[in-house]
Amino acid sequence: MKKKIILFIIPVLIVSCNVQRVSNSSEKYISLSRKNYIENYKELAINEMRRSGIPASITLAQALLESNNGNSTLAQKANNHFGIKCHNDWRGGTIYHDDDRKGECFRRYKTIYESYIDHSDFIVNGRRYSFLFELEPTDYKAWARGLQKAGYATSRTYAQLLIRIIEDNQLYVYDRGGTLNFTSTNENDPGFNNQELADVDNFTIQLNKHKVYNKNRIDYIIVKDGDTFESLTREFELLSWELFKYNELEDGATLEEGEILYLQPKRNRAEHGFDFHTVTEGETMYKISQMYGIKLKKLYEKNRMEVGTEPEPGQQLWLRKRKPESEINEESYDTIEFDEK
């Protein structure tokens, strides 16, 4: 019996050592590519597949997408690789980070492996995900579609994104117990190592007749000649009011070829890196709100402007924070004219 107990403990210790090494690697790498990430963390996904039944390909694809290859703020500062928020039942560490709202509570982990374990438990224990475990463990496409159906993410193309990552990197091999010398269909892309997969608008998915783009974590399309609200509502299986509401349009509005049309609600601020916009000739507040995926009312509020007024060419608009009152006062002072004496 003693001999058996020793043999059981040794693998556990080995896994523990690997976890510490992986956890430290998040500090070591300044910018991880998808190849780096898969090579570093595939064993964590495989361990969790054996423990929970969630396909390793699905876990890896979600981690790549949600953590921007391990480079996101949450991954770097909180070891949170799946973007899981605190929720009422969370009793562990926390970190506050701007997402849909300012200062939202996210889970913080001591190690990256803790993040993987919690992700598995989150799905295993969530009632809305229970049907997934009736699927074949090697059917990654069904799992991806099931996660989208269950509402893991708001993106209407979430399943397609996961499937694309899995197939580009042959992650399905791990679901079948195989090993892989990393090869990717994107390896010859000069920008491969710097591709960002989450929280940015640099990916497109072919869906039906239109490409679906992503800006500020919102799905959108570019209107084509001949498009109507009715045809697009049918194509994307939306309710009759959704396109009007998401794009802040009145009933009876018409579509123009080349304009942005959102398939999801716009957000309260622009994405990171877009703090200001300098107005050019012909730009309106509405066009700028569509350009950055910001709700029109919030754009007016941030710039302390009266709803219905329009900006002047050369004016600087605030896109993420509210314009300080001091700047408003300075602008007013600059416009005062004095009579010559």
Here the tokens at position 17 are 């050592």
- The residues spanned by each domain of the chain are 2-194, 204-262, 276-334
In this structure, the chain runs to a length of 341
Supply the angle between the helices 112-125 and 56-67 in degrees, to the nearest 10: 120
CATH class of the structural domain 2-194: mainly alpha
Q: How far apart are CA 304 and CA 266, in angstroms?
A: 19
Extended beta strands in 180-318, E state: 204-207, 210-215, 218-222, 260-262, 276-278, 316-318
Written as one string, the DSSP assignment of 154-175 is S-TTHHHHHHHHHHHTTTHHHH
Identical fold at 2-194 and 204-262? no
Q: Are 48 and 59 in contact (CB under 8 A)?
A: yes
> How big is the chain by its Cα radius of gyration, in Å?
24
Q: How far apart are CA 165 and CA 46, in angstroms?
A: 17
Here the tokens at position 326 are 């001091």
Here the tokens at position 114 are 């803790």
Task: Read off the amino acid at residue 310.
Answer: E
pLDDT in tens, the chain (341 residues): 444 433 333 333 333 333 333 333 334 444 778 888 999 999 999 999 989 899 999 999 999 999 988 988 888 888 999 988 887 777 888 888 655 555 678 888 889 999 999 999 999 988 899 999 999 989 999 999 999 999 888 888 899 999 999 999 999 999 988 766 554 444 333 333 333 333 333 333 333 478 888 888 788 899 999 999 999 988 887 788 889 999 999 988 999 999 999 988 899 999 888 899 999 999 999 999 999 999 999 999 999 999 999 999 999 999 999 999 877 665 544 444 434 43
Q: How far apart are CA 116 and CA 108, in angstroms?
A: 12
pTM: 0.48
Question: 69 vs 82, 264, 326, CA distance in Å?
Answer: 11, 25, 40
Residue carrying structure tokens 């091999």: 173
Q: Are 86 and 95 in contact (CB under 8 A)?
A: no
The verdict on domain 204-262 having CATH code 3.10.350.10 is yes
Here the tokens at position 193 are 């190592």
Residue (of 290, 323, 296) closest to 308 by Cα position: 296
CATH class of the structural domain 276-334: alpha beta
Residue (of 223, 193, 217) closest to 203 by Cα position: 217
